[in-house]
Homo-oligomer: A and B are copies of this chain.
Amino acid sequence: MDHHRSDTSDVTLSGVEQLGFRALADPTRRSILRLLAASDMTIAEVAENFQMTRAAVKKHLTILDEGNLISVQTRGRSRLNTLNADGLRDVFDWFEYFNAFWDDRLNTLKTEIEKDIKTQ
């Protein structure tokens, strides 16, 4: 513990994948991702699966886009929403990094216990 340093940093691709987590926080948006995993869809097609208005669905899609979890290709007068694997991987990577920490801790604990047993 050095100079009572305060650290609120996010460590990862700051400000980018942060929005990915935010995007995943809403159950509707997680459902949309599931739908898009099955096939690309226009806003109207996505909206068919929910009770809310198209406008509301479009807002969710915008947030998913901001979080880089989907990408959008304008095709004529409609927009095709596609899952973005890269953005999802960014979020996933946070867990990987985190799991590394966690595993280290378990390993340390394990080593300590083994040491205890041996020196008994």
Nearest chain B residue, comparing its CB with the CB of A39: B105
Please tell me the number of chain A residues within 8 Å of chain B, measured between CB atoms: 37
Q: How far is the CB of A68 from chain B (nearest CB, A)?
A: 15
Q: Which residues of B contact A85 (CB under 8 A)?
A: 102
Q: For the complex, what is the distance from the CA of A85 to the CA of B31, rounded to whole Å?
A: 25
Nearest chain B residue, comparing its CB with the CB of A95: B92
Q: Which residues of B contact A28 (CB under 8 A)?
A: 8
Whether the pair B98, A50 counts as a contact (CB closer than 8 A) is no
| Partner of A83 from B22, B34, B102 at Cβ < 8 Å | B102
Whether the pair B30, A7 counts as a contact (CB closer than 8 A) is no
Q: Which residues of B contact A6 (CB under 8 A)?
A: 48-51
Is the C-beta of A117 less than 8 angstroms from some C-beta in chain B? no
Using known A-B contacts A25-B21, A28-B8, A105-B38, determine if residue A98 contacts B33 with beta carbons closer than 8 Å.
yes
Whether the pair B50, A34 counts as a contact (CB closer than 8 A) is no
| Partner of A27 from B10, B39, B48 at Cβ < 8 Å | B10
Q: What are the 6 tightest A-B residue pairs by CB atom distance, in nearest-first order? A: A25-B25, A37-B101, A10-B27, A22-B25, A37-B102, A21-B24
